[in-house]
Amino acid sequence: MATTAELERLQELDEAEDRRIARFRDHPVLAGTTRLRRDDLHALLLQRRFVSHQFTPAYDLVIDLLGDETARRIARTILREEYPDGSGHTPSHREDMRTDLLQLGITAEAIAASRETAATKQNIADSFELLRTAGAQPDADLRLLTILRFWGEVLVSVEYTRIWEGIGPELTAGGENRSRFYHPHLVHDAKARPLATVSLLSSTHSDRLAMRLSELLARAPSTAFFGEVEDEVVRLKSRFYDQFLPALPGDDGDAAQPPGAVVVGDVVDVEVAGDEVDDDVAVEGVVDDDAGAVGSAGAVGS
């Protein structure tokens, strides 16, 4: 049973985590999946498929590096769920993903012809480097569980929830939800309960990992690493979506400017010595966008 001080510590971590989740949810590409051209949305799905293919190797790596037996057991059971039914009659989750892609009109030929972009390759390499670096720290168990839960479950649910806005109408036409992969995952991966009150009653992947993570966090000598590691995961995942920013149509139908870009002639609010420049004067300024800062501030390879 956690003490009051431990619960307060978990609540603080939770609130900061929820702010991070909200920031990632607002990434312009994730917030704009309904505005992407169909071809561009398909390109995004095909690139995201390569990240999904690395999900089980990432779990295997974490299981290798974890010292905590309870955490290893939770990770093992989640990994085994990826390949249901030992008889071979039930498709794996990655096969379910292919079924959804085909249902969306992406052809088997397009799937076969697709290749990772440089940005996707780098993103996958960065993800594994983040895990390996965490696994070499004295507090490796805490760091690995934090990353696995946040990178592999909590934010995955956020990604698929946003992607569902773009693909859901097509997969639910006729009133039936035909999604085999995206919709089930946005549900069963989600953070359903706060770290401070997670319990056996919740069975999502995020919350099952949180069961052990919250126990370890409550008695950790320091939790400063938690925010740093989660911020790094948000930056890493945002970089994957940054590659699709040019595909996002602007309000006037043009390709969108990446967040943070200087747009000559745009009317923006600029503070000059405490005075706001008149709104009707066109000035050169930096488009304010939190998600852009998230997307571009990360150091590659960390």
**CB under 8 Å to 139, separation ≥6 — which residues?**
220, 225
Chain residues in the site for Fe ion (CB under 5 A): 82, 93, 153, 189, 205
Q: How many angstroms separate the CA atoms of 46 and 34, rounded?
A: 17
Q: Report, in this order, helix, strand and coil percent for the chain, each rounded to 5.
A: 60, 5, 35
Query: Quick one: which of 220, 218, 229, 149 has its CA closest to 190?
Result: 149
Measured from the CB atom, the residue of 130 and 209 that comes closer to Fe ion is: 209
Q: How many angstroms separate the CA atoms of 19 and 97, rounded?
A: 29
Minimum CB–partner distance for residue 151 and Fe ion (Å): 11
Minimum CB–partner distance for residue 199 and Fe ion (Å): 18
Minimum CB–partner distance for residue 214 and Fe ion (Å): 18
Minimum CB–partner distance for residue 93 and Fe ion (Å): 3
Minimum CB–partner distance for residue 157 and Fe ion (Å): 8
Q: How many angstroms separate the CA atoms of 33 and 161, rounded?
A: 10
Measured from the CB atom, the residue of 8 and 82 that comes closer to Fe ion is: 82
Measured from the CB atom, the residue of 100 and 153 that comes closer to Fe ion is: 153
Measured from the CB atom, the residue of 25 and 94 that comes closer to Fe ion is: 94
Q: At what angle do helices 155-171 and 38-53 cross, to 10 degrees?
A: 140
Measured from the CB atom, the residue of 102 and 261 that comes closer to Fe ion is: 102
Minimum CB–partner distance for residue 206 and Fe ion (Å): 8
Measured from the CB atom, the residue of 9 and 162 that comes closer to Fe ion is: 162
Q: How many angstroms separate the CA atoms of 269 and 27, rounded?
A: 22
Q: How many angstroms separate the CA atoms of 52 and 32, rounded?
A: 21
